Amino acid sequence: MHYRNTTVVITGASSGIGLEFARFFAREGARLVLTGRREAVLAQVRREALDHGAASVDLVVGDLARAPVASEVETIAAERDVLVLVNNAGFSHYSAVADAETRPLLDMLAVQAQLPVRLCHAALQRMKREGRGLIINVGSLAGRVAVPGSALYVATKCFIERLSETLALEAAPHGVVVQALTPGYVRTDFHRDVENYRERRRNRGLIRWMDADAVVRCSMRAAERARRRLQSRPGRIPRRRDVVIIPGTANRFLAAISPFVPRTLVYRAAAARPRM
Ligand SMILES: NC(=O)c1ccc[n+]([C@@H]2O[C@H](COP(=O)([O-])OP(=O)(O)OC[C@H]3O[C@@H](n4cnc5c(N)ncnc54)[C@H](OP(=O)(O)O)[C@@H]3O)[C@@H](O)[C@H]2O)c1
């Protein structure tokens, strides 16, 4: 698909995976709407995107857990002719539920569960009318395990994967592709609160760190494959491998074997895992 002059909304585009999506769509000549909290960083991303060919770049700066900021993005998704939506914004908050303040827990629900639902709902109306569109919801392989200290993170990522699979089935008859992008470990700013996080990003066994641009290339290849398949035979049921995208061979292997590993062993591994 050519994305020239297509309006693309990307939440969390100031670094990491969202930034790489912004770079991809900028090179395609799209009209970008980018969000993030770090205003100066986003302004730099805007300059870079325009230099690389973006037709226009609008910024929404602020915390997406706050109602006015979330509503602003939702209005854009509903009122502009958005044909690509990337629900990517996410953060880590490490604490056992019993020891946590309620605010970060609820903020995580707002940013990583509620907002993607609101933006999908808003953008899908237009996409259905146009008979085309692409929604990428960024989940995580962490959404398939239990990780002490990250209950809300794990729960929201599990939610995103199931939500996206169901939306993919609902949207396919209208020519709209929905993808659950489900990465393992990725080198981004995500783990910046962890002490010495750069040094700790080492491959160990089946734990393989990926670069964000490789994750985005994998996502976009899969999106194109899914779009062609839908176009070649409208009404076709999407294949799961075109809906749930797991970048990286080691990650796909882990995902394939994990249903056969006794859950208690998975619990043990999760409990023994150092924080990352
Ligand atoms: N890195 C990994 O290992 C990994 C693995 C699996 C899945 N993921 C998922 O990938 C997605 C992108 O993360 P990343 O790894 O690229 O990390 P990142 O570099 O930290 O990027 C996260 C983006 O989300 C934005 N964001 C976070 N919380 C926000 C809030 N409350 N309001 C507004 N914007 C917010 C950040 O903007 P500001 O910082 O400017 O606010 C930033 O642009 C997340 O959903 C994450 O869960 C990451």
pLDDT in tens, 156-211: 999 999 999 999 999 999 999 999 999 999 999 998 887 777 777 888 888 899 99
Of all protein residues, the one whose alpha carbon is nearest to atom 8 of ligand 1 is: 140
Describe the strand order of the beta sheet including 56-61 as a list of residue ranges. Answer: 56-61, 31-36, 7-10, 82-87, 133-138, 176-181, 244-245
Continuous segment of H or E residues that includes residue 61? strand 56-61
Catalytic position from the list 153, 185, 197, 267: 153
User: CATH fold of 7-272, please?
Assistant: Rossmann fold (3.40.50)
Q: What is the model's pLDDT at position 276?
A: 64
Burial of 70 (0-12, 13-18, 19+ CB in 10 A): buried
* Mutation probe of ligand 1 site: the residue of 188, 194, 201, 215 with most atoms within 8 A of C-beta: 188
CA distances from 215 to 123, 182, 204, 219, 232 (A): 24, 9, 19, 6, 26
Of all protein residues, the one whose alpha carbon is nearest to atom 1 of ligand 1 is: 186
* Mutation probe of ligand 1 site: the residue of 11, 14, 85, 185 with most atoms within 8 A of C-beta: 14
Q: Has 153 been annotated as catalytic?
A: yes
Q: How confident is the model at residue 1 (pLDDT cuts 50, 70, 90)?
A: low
Reported as a single tens digit per residue, the pLDDT across 107-144 is 999 999 999 999 999 999 999 999 999 999 999 999 99
Q: What is the model's pLDDT at position 270?
A: 84
Query: How many residues appear in the chain?
Result: 276
State if pTM tops 0.95.
yes
Q: How confident is the model at residue 213 (pLDDT cuts 50, 70, 90)?
A: very high
Q: How confident is the model at residue 11 (pLDDT cuts 50, 70, 90)?
A: very high
The string of DSSP codes covering 99-131 is GS-HHHHHHHHIIIIIHHHHHHHHHHHHHHHHT
What tokens appear for 69 in the block? 């900021």
Nearby residues of 83 by Cβ (< 8 Å), 6 or more positions away: 6, 7, 8, 126, 127, 130, 132, 133, 134
Q: What is the model's pLDDT at position 198?
A: 74
CA distances from 51 to 12, 23, 141, 231 (A): 20, 10, 34, 33
**Where are the chain's structural domains?**
7-272
Q: What is the model's pLDDT at position 175?
A: 96
Q: Could you tell me the end-to-end alpha-carbon distance of the chain, in angstroms, rounded to an integer? A: 37
Question: Cβ atoms within 10 A of the Cβ of 159, count?
Answer: 19
